[in-house]
Structure formats: structure tokens, C-alpha cells
Amino acid sequence: MPDDVATRISRRGVLGGTAATAVTGAVTGAVTGAAPAQAAPAPAAPTPVMPVRFKVNGERRELTLDPRTTLLDALREHLHLTGSKKGCDHGQCGACTVMVDGVRINSCLSLAVMHDGDEITTIEGLGTPDRLHPMQAAFVAHDGYQCGYCTPGQICSAVAVLDEIKRGVPSHVQADLTAKPRATADEMRERMSGNICRCGAYSNIADAMRDVAGADA
């Protein structure tokens, strides 16, 4: 056999042998399920938790929470107080309004761990079906709700608004910020503007608040 022919045959043999080896390895891997060796992932770090102690509706409660837990989720998911609603979860609708040490807040924007030692009042703590809070009774009397989803936040906010006015906390509609505010229609509408009612029961809510405010309205 001439040298050039032997050279061509040996090259073909090498290339063919390499291809056969590659194909055999791929088929064997597919059959056995073998996969290339990979480094094992690092174990996930444990989620940190913190103890939280507060008084909710007059009862002392203790929780151990992820520090990222909002007050709203602590109330709903951990204490099962589902009256406070998660509407927008961005602090824009007011459905999650509760009172902390008598001051209304959007509980979806506040972390539970920020309220260690605080006193929290939700809609469940204002009254019971057989003994309604005056604001709850007024909402019923004046049809201050329709679907009812925003109602817990509306009522908590309404109670806090009348207390704000009583304490002399000013608002944007006051011409004289040093004067004692009164529970007028404009005053209450301004203060309640952060609580959205998608059913549009605003006028009835205002009537309920004036009813509770009494002679100051």
C-alpha cells in the first residue's frame, strides 16, 4: 500500500474512532441517567426570627416572626384576626386600618416588630355583634357599607378621626391651624380621604360619623 493511502486510512480511523467514542459515551449517559458532576449547592441560611410582644384588643400576645412580617400579616395570618383586610397592600386604600396606641395606621405598611410593647385595636376589638361600638351601630343605621370589604378599616379610621378632632389635631382643611377643629362635614371628609370605598358609600359614612359626633358636627 502506498504511503499516501496508509496516511489517509489512519486519519479516517482516528476520526471515526473519536466519533464512535463520543456517541457511545452520550448513549451510555442517557441510558444510565448519569450527569456531569456538579458542586453541591451551599445550604440556605436559616431565616432570622424575632420575638414580638404586644397587646391586641386588650389581650397580651407573643409571637416569633420573620422581621419582614407586616403588622397586617401578623394580625391576619398569625393571630387569625381577619377583620382587617388586605386591599392594595400599598397603603393606598385604607382597608387595613387599625389603631396603635389610639392612632390609626395602615397596618400593611408597618412591620410587626416595630410595635413591640404597643397596644393595638382592630375591628374585632371595637365591639361584638350583641354589643356594637357606637360607630358600628351608626354604620348599620346609615347604610355606611355595601360590599363590606372596606368597612373594618373605615370604622377604625372613623373612630380615630373623631378622637383626633377631640384632641385638637389639625387637618389640611383648617383655615387656622391653631384653632380647635370641629367635626364638620368637610373636616371629616378630608380626614377620611385615605379610606377608599369602591362601592361609593361615602355620603352614608359621613352621616354615620356626624351621628356619632353629635353636637360637634
Mean pLDDT of 65-81: 98
Mean pLDDT of 97-125: 98
Tell me what the pLDDT averaged over the chain comes to.
87
pLDDT score at 26: 46
pLDDT score at 98: 98
pLDDT score at 22: 46
pLDDT score at 217: 52
pLDDT score at 71: 98
pLDDT score at 14: 46
Locate cell 360637634: which residue? Answer: 216
Inter-residue contact 86 to 104 (CB < 8 Å) = no
Q: Which of 23-32, 90-99, 163-172 has the least mean pLDDT? A: 23-32
User: How far, in Å, are 129, 141, 162, 192, 210 from residue 159 at the CA level?
Assistant: 17, 16, 6, 10, 11
Q: Residue 167 — very low, low, confident or very high, per pLDDT cuts 50/70/90?
A: very high
Pairing verdict, β 103-106 and 97-100: antiparallel
Of 4 and 139, which is predicted with more confidence? 139
pLDDT greater than 70 at residue 11: no
Mean pLDDT of 183-206: 94
Structural domains of the chain, with CATH:
50-125 (3.10.20.30), 134-216 (1.10.150.120)
